[in-house]
Amino acid sequence: MQQQHESFTAIYNEQYAKVFRLCKGYFNGNEVIAVDATQEVFIKVWQHMEEFRNESSMSTWIYRIAVNTCLLYLRKASTRKEIQTETFPERPDELYNAVTEQRLKKMYNCIQQLDETGRLIILLVLDGIEYADISSIIGITEDTLRVKIHRIKKSLSNCVKL
Partner 1 sequence: MTSFDQIQELWKLQQYHKKGTPDEIIRRAKQHTREIRRKHKGIIVILTLTVLMLLLYFISFSSRFANQALAGFMLMVLSILVRIAAESISYHRFAAIDIKKSLQQYAQETILFYQFRKKILFLLTPLVFALYVTGFLLLLSAAKKNISHSFYIYTIVSAILFALFISWLIIKQTKKEIKLLQLLTRLQEELKSNK
Q: How far is the CB of 133 from partner 1 (least distance, A)?
A: 11
**Least distance from C-beta 6 to partner 1, angstroms?**
9
**What is the b/e burial string over 78-113, where b = at least 16 CB atoms within 10 angstroms of the residue's CB?**
eeeeeeeeeebeeeeeeeeeeeeeeeeeebbbbbbe
φ and ψ at 93, to 5 degrees? -120, 130
Chain residues binding partner 1 by CB under 8 A are: 5, 8-9, 12-13, 16-17, 20-21, 24-25, 31, 35-36, 38-39, 42-44, 46-48, 51, 61, 64-65, 67-69, 71-72, 75-76, 78, 93, 95-96, 100, 103-104, 107, 115-118, 120, 126-128, 136-140, 144, 147-148, 151, 153, 156-157, 160-162
Answer whether 41's CB lies under 8 Å from 69's CB: yes
Q: Which amino acid is at 137?
A: I
Residue 95 beta carbon to partner 1: minimum distance, rounded to whole angstroms: 7
